[in-house]
Amino acid sequence: MSEDKYPSESGRRRFVKGVVGSAALAGVGVGGASSVNLATQPTGGGGGPTPFVGITNTGGPAPRGMPYIPLELDDEGYLRGVWPEAETVTEAGQTYDVARTELGGQTYSSEWFQYCGRQQAAGVQPAADQDNYFQSVGSPSYNWQAEELSEGDRLRLDHFEDYETWGNEIGDEGVGKPAETTWRSQGTEGVLPVTLIRSKRIEEKANQGGEVGEWYSAASVQGTIAYLNVCTHFCCVPGYKDSPDSPQYNAENGIYCQCHQSTYDPFEPSFETFIALPRPD
């Protein structure tokens, strides 16, 4: 059983940079969201009211959850994010590209990730040529990951083998084992930070039926989920079981955003609609 410590110094520095950078982005994001007009947005950008499934926002100023990324497993045991085939659609007088499919009873699309400046990331382009594997970050917050993986290594399901017992010094053991990754970001400017977690809680919910069960049985792989780790408040990068401050906000077994104390529950899906921002293309 690994004994992970608090986030490394590099993790904290990354956080501070995130705060500064996100302040500018947030101004764009909030204004853009409220002024999106389907009749005047640039052709090819997509955006507008978008139903999505996210991890649930449980506290703080964040307005909604962070979007899940449905998972699949390849023949060699590597985890991959689902990215639907890109298509050109015409809706409400607009012609634009979108990667969209029906999955787990929901409409999953590339527009789920068009917020907080990520609508400008190359990987969010519906037709962007990416392999959809998750790559380990260079300075992960978790000791197991720093010891076993180098920057750029792909994540496999068996990296999470001890998920039923794994723990660190934050919260309880056996809640769920995480990894910090990037996705659809290889060789591009705009990074998409993604957290993977494997947990018994997801396995149980995937078997429970109903809307939640249908979603998890389609979007998770053997109890493993992924979500875009960009706070919907002012776009910081939150942490799962990685902050000594999180117990004050009842988030030691969940996700805590150090910027303004928003909290999220990665094991509870919320079915919501938000205003996706148009891509600049």
Q: By CB under 6 A, name the binding residues for ligand FES.
A: 60-62, 231, 233-236, 257, 259-260, 262
Within the chain, strands assigned E span 3-4, 48-59, 66-67, 71-73, 79-81, 86-91, 94-103, 106-109, 134-136, 167-168, 177-183, 193-198, 224-228, 239-240, 255-257, 262-276
Distance of closest approach, residue 26 Cβ to ligand FES, in angstroms: 8
| Rounded least distance, CB 126 to ligand FES, Å | 27
Helix, strand, or coil (residue 35): helix
φ, ψ at 139 (rounded to 5°): -130, 75
Nearer to ligand FES, 43 or 248 (CB): 248
Going by C-alpha positions, the residue among 100, 67, 97, 95 that lies closest to residue 83 is: 100
Return the number of the residue (234 or 267) whose C-beta is nearest ligand FES.
Answer: 234
Nearest residue to 112 via CA among 174, 76, 68: 68
- CB 11, min distance to ligand FES, A: 15
Q: In whole angstroms, how close is the CB of 261 to ligand FES at the nearest point?
A: 6
Q: Which is nearer to ligand FES, 61 or 105 (CB)?
A: 61
Residue placing its CB nearer to ligand FES in the complex, 32 or 70 = 32
Closest to ligand FES by CB, 61 vs 171, is 61
Between 259 and 277, CB nearer to ligand FES: 259
- What are the angstrom distances between the C-alpha of 26 and each of 29, 42, 179? 5, 20, 26
SS3 (DSSP) at 280: coil
- Give least dist CB 84 to ligand FES, A: 28
**Least Å distance between CB 13 and ligand FES?**
17
CB 277 within 8 A of CB 33: yes
CA–CA gap between residue 173 and residue 202 (Å, rounded): 16
